[in-house]
């Protein structure tokens, strides 16, 4: 794996540490990787929804 340095506010880091302490994640790194995966998946869904909307608009107004 490759390291990716990131700056975070104390509040955000505290929340992240709390999730680790509560057992949601084994480490900060695991939590950040999970957050990155969720963000990527969300953006993929956003792009898909946008493409579908454009197809619908094209189908309704271009024919």
Distance in Å from the first CA to the final CA of the chain: 50
Distance CA 11, CA 8 (A): 8
- The dihedral region occupied by 30, where left means phi > 0, alpha psi between -120 and 50, and beta the remainder, is alpha
- The pTM (predicted TM-score) of the whole model is 0.74
Domain ranges of the chain: 10-61
pLDDT of residue 31: 97
pLDDT tens for each residue of the chain, 63 residues long: 999 999 999 999 999 999 999 999 999 999 999 999 999 999 999 999 999 988 888 888 866
Nearest to 16 by CA among 42, 7, 39: 7
């Amino acid at each position: 794996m490759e390291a990716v340095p990131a700056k975070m506010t104390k509040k955000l880091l505290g929340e992240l540490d709390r999730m680790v302490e509560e057992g949601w994640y084994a480490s900060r790194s695991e939590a950040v990787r999970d957050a990155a995966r969720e963000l990527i998946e969300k953006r993929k869904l956003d792009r898909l929804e946008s493409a579908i909307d454009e197809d619908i608009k094209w189908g309704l107004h271009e024919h």
